Amino acid sequence: MGRLFGTDGVRGIANKELTPELAFNLGKAGAAVLSKGGSRPVFVIGKDTRLSGDMLENALTAGILAVGGHVIKVGVIPTPAIAYLVKRYGADAGVVISASHNPYEYNGIKFFNGEGFKLDDKIEEKIEDIIIAGIDSKMHGTGEAVGKCLDAGDDAHGLYIDFLADTFEGNLEGLKIVLDCANGAAYETAPAVYKKLGAEVITIGCEPDGININDNIGSTHPEKLQETVVKTQADLGLAYDGDADRLIVVDEKGRVIDGDKTMCICAKMLKDEGLLEGNKVTATVMSNIGFHKYINEVIGADVDVTAVGDRYVLESMRETGCVLGGEQSGHIIFLNYTTTGDGTLSSLQFVKAVRNSGKKASELSDEIEIFPQVLVNAKVANENKNDYLKDKEIQDFIEQVEKEMEGSGRVLIRPSGTEPLVRVMIEGADVEKIQTLAQELADMISEKYL
């Protein structure tokens, strides 16, 4: 068996790769590792709308209960709600059953610690080691030693909705907003928050049936949202992914505002309010050069750059005290409010930035110049994926390309984490030119290392 945890929990095709047996063992091993001094750990479990969610939830729960842990089930709810509720309930850990933006046949299991942060790599490794080694992590308890499901008490959805509403000052009366919830976990909570704040709400992607999550809808497929915003003459469109930790915005003209632009607009708001701690924003290596220019030259702030993945963004933010960070994909973290990406919270902050500016979303978006990006995959032998790093001819070619673009473009090469590919990305003003250069560089890498 290979390693189980990826960059965002354990994922796979439900009932084939992510089986009930694996979910049961994750529950047992997780409860054994997270128990403190022999105490019974309490887990908060939530899920998205996938058909396989019930199966995995019950298997996971059985594993936790079998070794004496307790479980609080809160049903279909966004991933960031679990990060909030685990602290609210004083639980030891939270678990989300979701495969985020992936198709419905996939599912995943990811853990949060008692502070609402994703588990540290070392703790994940301990859980993995127990399962991979086939160790019975703890003898099944009998009698009073068996765990039980606890009552959530206060309405979990209501607590989360109230938390979100409290992050927004004032109300949204007079604002017409289209919400696209991807037929996923936010289909109840996001509309409830916006209605509570007084907005006129139009919804799409709010009729989950277990198999239509992310199906040509949501943050990865904003076309229907763009059409609906224009047709209804709405002020904004807001799209989330299946577990609602990402946000993609559509302006009143039906144009997409990606995560880079959203962070720029929110960073300016925080800077104007004196709340941009450390005068910096955290982003990954994939963020557009236009993002860097806006943050550096317009706002007068710095950018901390991390590897791709929200967990690396968060690690950096916690080290530096930065309060805003995220990715192009719309996974944005407002660390002064929460411990993980939250699509609904991010959208509220964006709406606040638009309202405070006195401008329309399109006007704010047009102030940010995003440079075209071209991505070409170079096929290589798996064992050669990192050899380009020491290849002088390739490094010289990259240096030459970046000199030609004179600060208005860049080259980024990185090996795929899952496939025998090296991804070549070039940014620049001239699309035809960067397409030619990217293909030339990809061909060079393939010829040398396939």
Residue range 239-260: mean pLDDT, rounded: 97
Mean of the per-residue pLDDT values of the chain: 93
How is residue 371 written in tokens? 């440079």
Answer whether residue 93 shows pLDDT above 60: yes
Neighbouring C-beta atoms of residue 304, cutoff 10 Å: 16
pLDDT confidence tier of residue 384, bands split at 50, 70 and 90: confident
Place of tokens 């908060």: 44
Q: What is the pLDDT of residues 19-37, one digit of tens each?
A: 999 999 999 999 988 876 6
Answer whether residue 150 shows pLDDT above 60: yes
How is residue 234 written in tokens? 């709405």
- Give residue 7's Cα distance to chain centre: 11
Active site residue 39: no
Helices 79-88, 156-166: axis angle to 10 degrees equals: 100
Contact 98, 79 (CB under 8 A): yes
Query: Residue 129 has what pLDDT?
Result: 87
Q: Which of 11, 33, 40 shows the shortest CA–CA distance to 23? A: 11
Answer whether residue 38 shows pLDDT above 70: no
21: amino acid identity, one letter: E
Distance CA 97, CA 111 (A): 9
Alpha helices in 295-391 (DSSP H): 310-320, 343-357, 361-366
Residue range 379-406: mean pLDDT, rounded: 87
Answer whether residue 1 shows pLDDT above 70: no
Answer whether residue 54 shows pLDDT above 60: yes
Q: Which is higher by pLDDT, 142 or 368? A: 368
pLDDT confidence tier of residue 139, bands split at 50, 70 and 90: low
Whole-number percent of the chain with pLDDT over 90: 76
Cβ-in-10-Å burial (0-12, 13-18, 19+) of 97 comes to: buried
Query: Residue 406 has what pLDDT?
Result: 74
Residue range 283-308: mean pLDDT, rounded: 94
Answer whether residue 401 shows pLDDT above 90: no
Selected catalytic residue, list 100, 287, 346, 347 = 100
